[in-house]
Chain A
């Protein structure tokens, strides 16, 4: 069962890599989710807003069709609204400062052997692991 998850993970990963390849080879753009969204929020990407909106539309539409057809995905997100708000703010602030997230720094950066992408990835993984460790071990205290 667990091994099947790994296989699906790898297959899904290849599709993500193909999506990023397509965006790079055809559109000439780095596929970074935070950058594509961020450019629409802070005006820095308004000169190519239609390309950004098209990408986001695909990112919303295809999973919507699949989830309505097969009814399988669940996000299992926490029900704690305060955690969600804090996490959302941290993700928005952090990815804007670092100018990248898991797709931009992680996938596109590492595959390019970009030191910047690798450094960013190491820091957000260590930070995320520390938070998960804290949640698992000290949550009773909070």
Chain B
């Protein structure tokens, strides 16, 4: 139960941070990606602010195997740098630039993003499902 309570608080804090930082505003995202025009540096401050506590947290858990609740600490750092990572990131970046939404802010703005927000989320879920359906049949098996 504690585990789910803290997951809920983490999600809520994440959403609060996204709102306060302006990252649920698609114009702020597209403004930051507009390096050759009127560049908006806000996202760099968001990344900087988020990286500082997380840098410390990674140091804290670096020699630990389990979390405070005794669960195993997820270790994803052994995964390779391959074409899936590069191609996936390029495709994700294209979608991100196209409307200025990534998964976190898309979900965080569910209550106030209107119909177009729902359409984005549904399309994103279909995209995830498409890859999970074909990934076992093609060379780019991912899991």
Contacts and interface: CB of A to CB of B under 8 A. Distances in A.
Interface in A18-66: 18-31, 33-34, 37-38, 41-44, 50-52, 54-64, 66
B17 A15 contact: yes
Given A14-B17, A17-B53, A63-B19, A37 B107 contact: yes
A123 interface: yes
A41 B125 contact: yes
A75 B115 CA distance: 12
A138 interface: no
Given A8-B21, A28-B69, A136-B34, A15 B16 contact: yes
Contact of A59 (B12, B23, B120): B12
B69 A27 contact: yes
B63 interface: no
Interface residues of A, number: 107
Contact of A63 (B15, B43, B81): B15
A77 interface: yes
Contacts of A77: 26, 99-101, 113-114, 116-117, 120
User: Binding site of B, secondary structure by majority: helix, strand, loop or mixed?
Assistant: helix
A131 B94 contact: yes
Contacts of B92: 90-91, 93-95, 98, 101, 124, 127
A60 B99 CA distance: 20
- Top 4 closest pairs, chain A to chain B, by CB: A92-B127, A13-B49, A12-B21, A88-B123
Given A97-B88, A136-B36, 18 more contacts: A9-B21, A12-B22, A13-B51, A18-B17, A20-B54, A21-B56, A23-B6, A34-B103, A44-B143, A51-B3, A59-B15, A85-B123, A87-B96, A91-B95, A94-B90, A97-B140, A98-B92, A101-B102
